[in-house]
Structure 1
Amino acid sequence: MGEPFGPEGLPLELARERILEQLQPLGLVEQLPLAACLGRITAEPVLAGEAVPGFRASIMDGYAIPGSEQPLVGARWRLRGTSAAGAPFGAAVAAGEAVRILTGAVVPEGSGRVLPQELVGVEADQLELLKPCGASVWIRGPEEEAAAGQELVAAGQRLGVAELGRLASCGVCQLKVTQRPRLGLLISGDELLPPGRQRAPGQIWESNSALLTALLNRLGYAVADQRVVGDQPEPLRAALLQLAAGCDVVVSTGGVSAGDSDWIRPLVAELGAVNFWKLFLKPGRPFAWGQVAGVPFFGLPGNPVAAAVTALQLLWPALQRLEGAEPQLLLRLKVRLEAPLRRGVGRPELARAQLVVAADGGLLARVAGSQASSRIGSLQGADLLLEIPAELGALEAGTELWAQLLRLPLL
């Protein structure tokens, strides 16, 4: 049935390593419009079909003059016409001539320099340089953004805002991306009641489905199928098999410990395998990893905070691997405790904290309220997961710790 790793359970890093080494990308591909590709993984390299911008373009509003030599103050030219964005001048610039040019417009043949408009004077059709123009020619090359055939995005890269903008600028309108894994979510517990219903004594409103679905959505993954089932073996067995038949990953909450009503772990062992089921981590000790009918299975703890934390630490990297990406973990940084923190030694802890910038610019971690794994309020406003080593108990203000940054990047 998969025994715990020693008396304390499997260390987090080793648990993640064991999970990832058993997973391979799904290898499924779909083609989508560029606008639908934010956050997706490229299935193949994306190359520029042609040079971009593909022509010499003016960086400034000003005047295109012949050659590229730096003219002297007092030099004069005769104006011949205008080159605007999308409306080139259409002829070469000869000696002694100049063309009015706007930002982004094609630089005419024969011109190797643009004079910014604030440096010149214009009277009738005569242009005169009034101030030194400096060394810059204010022209961007035809391959400034990309050369024809240049790789814009590698295969297996997650597409962010900047990638989509660059691809659009290079004329790309659709992409081949990997398919995301389909998730089946099983919430177990006799005490669970849908929000909005009147509670009887001992009942609680079910929140794990809302919490995990929102967290997974924020990470870019959707729940394809969801069940809320009481602690009865036959309905749970049926739900596990149905989810495994229609999904690429099965995720459950609760039922993986060793209590009288914890049916999930023995059922998974019966229907597939439990590779390990105990973590050396707070919150998150009752966690199971295995397979149901050949489909990867993640048994998250029943307490909501523990479920969210273990989903970030272990489920999220696995989903990235299945999607075809190199798993990326949360960015880590060093912070100092704003105030003393008391805790019991024994297990490493991922404590929820706010990031505070001190007056001197230093980064502080503010831990407020109970850190109980059942209190979802500890996640509200959390910017960090503080990594507290197992051997540390009483921590003084100013103690330096590593922390995982929970805020996602914009670009």
Structure 2
Amino acid sequence: MKTSLEYKYFPGLTVYCNQCNLSIHHKNKGNKCKHPINKQVYKAIVRIPNSGYDRKTKILKARDYNEAVKEFIDFKEQVKNPVLYQQSDKKLKPQLLKDGIAMYIDYLQDEGTPHHMKKHLEQSYIKSTITFLKEFVGFIVKKGAKLNTYKLESINDSVVGKYCEFLEKKNGSNYTYNGKVKAMRTFFNYLIDNEDYKLRNVWKKVNLKSEKPTDISISKKDFFDLLSVINSEDAILQTGKTKRNMYRPWLKDLTKLKAFSGRRNAELFAMKWNMIHFEDDVPIYIQSPNIKINKQQNNFDKKDYQYSFVPVGEELLELLNELSLETNKDGSDYIIAPEIENRVTLETYASRYFTFFFKKLKRKYTRQLKHLRQTYITREDLFVNRKISMQHSNYRTTSKHYIDKREIAKEMVKNGFRVFDK
């Protein structure tokens, strides 16, 4: 019994799952769609001539591969014929909500996007956005909407109001409420700004709820108490009938490295021993590629990388020595969990493991792994305290273009920088 539609490589033609909202053709072997074949469709993606990189997409009616190819070719001729395209522009532009969402997800995933225009969004962001869009779709379906006929223009103030009321009754956090509203607002911004839809962004009228500040740091007591409870004893999380071991041998070292370097999770798992810079055989700083900025700027060649320079302060030096700095010096192994090849999986679950063990402290508040970055930056700011420029009226100009951060890192090491006082 077939589990997916037949597919042979044909430029611009993909197999698409309406349930996953993802392309599942051969280019995406990692996406193992488990939904039934009746959820799959053939999808056409065609560039509009003389428009730069604008394109049109269409969910095809054909269920047979050969018929899909014929339908694709007809659609391509329509789009590429300037006269016909002008006459049928409104017809070709997806008007249904489900098709607009499918087009938007392609956009988020850089599907068919020229290299220099790719956004390289985090998979976690794409996944949460898709979840939020699906929740809205589920809401309107429960209210009686028929997806095969429901148009984007049907989303008006009344619909938005009812959806916001629905979200409020769920009693979720303000952060979650805002995230769901922002997802819809950004979706409409895309339709209006990128695809020239003549729509009003009715989501702009929604007042977002107040959120707790993100500038939360972790105290010295919480930090060391947390380290003391990270062990293999009583580390099982039970959710329903599912049990999961939340302990990982590398978690305590990761927590320390996060606290003593302040870098983002992806950068921590990408850190290698040969990134450590020595002077007179003394480790001074870690030259860590700024993954977020490099993605945003499409920097994938090492010669174009932007770096962060992490001073090897007293605490970080102690950690590196514990992890056998002398033995690993100039080596190409990862500092954290070098035996694990899949770094993305490590990054995905690290925060969950951290949160599990912090809950064991039974505080009246919660802390997350990301708060160690705030902790580090707070201490760094207090230690360096450089916010005045003698050369520019705007210190940001000085900081961005003139300050050699390697020299700042050296000075911090020389003056005994620590995140937590002795």
- TM bucket by the smaller chain? under 0.3
* Greater share of residues in strand: 1
* Greater share of residues in helix: 2
TM-score (norm 1): 0.22
Instruction: Report 1 or 2 for greater relative contact order, CA contacts < 8 Å, sequence distance ≥ 6.
Output: 1
TM-score (norm 2): 0.22
